[in-house]
Each structure stands twice: as structure tokens, then as C-alpha cells.
Amino acid sequence: MTPAPETAARRSVWVLAECAQGHVQKVTFELLGDARKLASLRKAPLETVLPCHPDQTARLLEELRPHQAGRVHVLQHPALASYTTDAFVSALEPFVRAAPPLLLFVAATANGRDLAPRLAARAGLGFFPNCLTLRPAGGEHIEITRVTHGGGVHAQSAWLAGGEGPPLLVTMKPGVADASPANPAAPLPDAVRHDAVIAEDRLRVRVLDHLPADPRIQDIREAERIVSGGRGVGSREGFAAVEDLADALHAAVAASRVAVDLGWAPYERQVGQTGKTVAPQLYVAAGISGASHHLMGMRGSEKIVAINSDRKAPIFSVAHLGVVGNLHELLPALARRIRG
């Protein structure tokens, strides 16, 4: 591997870009938004680490372009085309050790949750998982708020940045930060290419093919489309209309806390402050009034469609498209139209 960046070690803020099937994932843009704010407040350089196949580099840099990723360190190797634990840990550990940053942001996705603790342990980094916010708290301290106990508790900690302790790796909860382009007219980022050295005999897993996730069992935090039902669905039998529309859209099924409490959907499908935070491309809220604890869990969705019989329901305040009507008439009709 070529040497790691000769930035002022322990001063820079890094973001680990997450890619899938040759594209930068939305959560990376969320991380860049958080990291950019923190780097600005601490007057620290922002840099992005991009593990990928050499043939993917040009496209991925173009996708990063409007998001002000700072200097991009491209770790190139054919084994980095798709995520595997062995390949990514092998590539990243020596790179991070060579010039450790002040702070490394990683997404708390399925891949990030697999990689982060291993990388932290192997590279000698401090580790804070499932973080919501990081902000300066006077002097060299950074205040960290993170989620614990299955989302039921928010814990606050203070970390002495640049102190005697190790550099820090944090995983950030997806769907919380803004992913909007910082500068749509920005030029291509300054890129430094590094050839990762990965011992072939250490790769215990190889990716042979990509199969689309089954939305019926997919973690709703990873879903691109979600149809969610609330109290207005009326009953467990009535929830079938939500499931049918989700099937037509190839979407995941979710629910409000009330619907879960009533036994109409399992807890792992609950969206909200006491459930899961989601940020899909499309979120259809059927029969959900829009209490504040639910809005906290889904307001980061790219497009929100609300269907409710109460035109004063708070859900309409965040919806991009609102429909006032009977969901038991609208959802089946919409499902039939989608199926053609």
C-alpha cells in the first residue's frame, strides 16, 4: 500500500465512504454533513476514505463531487468491489495506523456495524457505536450523544479530542442527518490513489453475486421503500391492505408505535423515537396521525406520502404528498394500479 496521507496526524476528521454495487450510498452523504460541521468548528481538515475496485473510482468520485468530501483517499483493490469483512479490515487497518485521524466516521449500517468494532480493535482506536450527534463542548472536549438499550436510552459522553487517549471511531445512526448536496456545482474532489495490499489467503469469503433483499424480511433501516400503518388501519385484518401495497411496491412493511402496541405488527417493524429511524426513498404513511415521536423516526425520508381521513393530522406537515380519504379504499386501488 502507498503511504497514508501526511496530514497533521490526529487532527483531521475522516469519513469512511460506504458503497454498494458500484455506487456511493446515501448514508455517506449524511456522514459528510455531520463530519463537515464538526471539522469546521474544530478548524480541522475533512478527508474521505473510499475503498473500491479500481474500475469504480471515476464514477464514485463523480457521485461524491457535490457533497464536498474534502481530499479523497481512494483505497484500490479488486477485492474491495463489494464489502467483505476480511478484505476491508485488511485494507483499512494499516492505512489508519499509518496516520490516524482525530476522528473517523463510519455508518451504523449492517456493513458498518460489522466492520467498525473490528477495525477499532485492530487499529487501536477508541469506539463509540450508534451515535446521534457530536458537537464541541468547550476546550478540547466533544460531547457525544448515542443510542443504547435498543433505542430506549440516549447516553451522553464527553471525549477529550487529541488528548492522551487513542483516536476515535464513531458509527453514526443512518437517517438522522441531512444528505442534501452541499454544493451541486463543486468540482471533482482532490483524489489520492493508494494501492491496498490484501493477502489472498486471508480472504475467507468471496462475493459471487448480489441478490435483491426480500423486503418482507429486510431490516426497515436498510429499505429503499416503506409502507407503514398506524391506528387508522383499524385492525390486524385491516393491516393486510398495508401489506398488499407494500408487496406491489416491493417495499418493506413498517408500523407506528400504536399499531405495534395493539399487536398488528412486530416490534422490529416499529418506526419512531422508541423504534427505528428510517430514511427511505419513499415512505407511505397510512392511517398514521404523525405524533412527534413517530415523525422523529421518518422525517428524513426523501419522499413522504400521507394517507389519512383527518385533514388536520400532523403527518401532513411533513408529507410531500397528502391524500385525505379512506385508506381501505385507496390502498387496494393504488396496489391494483401499480400492478397494472
In DSSP terms, which residues pair with 19 in a beta bridge? Answer: 24
pLDDT classification of 185: cutoffs 50, 70, 90? confident
The three cell numbers locating residue 38: 464538526
Strand, helix or coil at 71? strand
Write down the mean pLDDT value for the chain.
90
Name the amino acid, one letter, at 36. R
d(CA 32, CA 78) in angstroms, rounded, equals: 25
126-136 and 168-172 beta bridge pairing: parallel
User: CA of 277: how far to CAs of 128, 188, 295, in Å?
Assistant: 18, 32, 9
SS3 string, 246-275, reads HHHHCCEEEECHHHHHCCCCCHHHEECCCC
As a whole number of angstroms, the distance between CA 156 and CA 147 comes to 9
Residue 151 banded pLDDT, cuts 50, 70, 90: low
- Region 171-192: mean pLDDT is 86
List the Cα angle 21/103/99 in 5-degree steps.
90
Distance of alpha carbon 20 from alpha carbon 59, whole angstroms: 13
Nearest to 220 by CA among 272, 292, 177, 147: 272
Read off the pLDDT band of 163 (50, 70, 90): low
Distance in angstroms (rounded) separating the CA atoms of residues 49 and 95: 10
Dump the DSSP string for 112-175.
Answer: HHHHHHHHHHHHT-EEEEEEEEEEE-STTEEEEEEEEGGGTEEEEEEEETTSSS--EEEEE-TT
User: How high is the pLDDT of residue 190?
Assistant: 94
**122, three cell numbers:** 485492530
Confidence (pLDDT) at 175: 75
Reported as a pLDDT band with limits 50, 70 and 90, residue 8 is: very low
Q: Where are the domains of the chain?
A: 13-202, 220-339
This prediction's pTM = 0.79
The model's confidence at residue 333, banded by pLDDT at 50, 70 and 90, is: very high
Domains 13-202 and 220-339 share a fold: yes
State the pLDDT confidence band at 1, using cuts at 50, 70 and 90: low
Express as a percent the part of the chain with pLDDT over 70. 95
**H/E run at residue 107:** strand 103-107
Specify the CATH number of the domain 220-339.
3.40.50.1220
Backbone angles phi, psi at 332, to 5 degrees: -60, -40
Q: Specify whether domain 13-202 bears CATH 3.40.50.620.
A: yes
How far apart (Å, rounded) are the C-alpha atoms in residues 136 and 44? Answer: 13
Q: What would the pLDDT profile of 41-93 be if each residue is shown by its tens digit? A: 888 999 999 999 999 999 999 999 999 999 999 999 999 999 999 999 999 99
| Type and span of the H or E element at 191 | strand 191-195
Q: Which of 1, 7, 206 is nearest to 92 (CA)?
A: 1
Q: Which residue has the cell 429499505?
A: 223
Kindly indicate the confidence band of residue 4, based on its pLDDT and cuts at 50, 70 and 90.
Answer: low
Tell me the β-bridge partners of 324: 308
For residue 183, count CB atoms less than 10 angstroms from its CB and return exposed for 0-12, middle for 13-18, buried for 19 or more: exposed
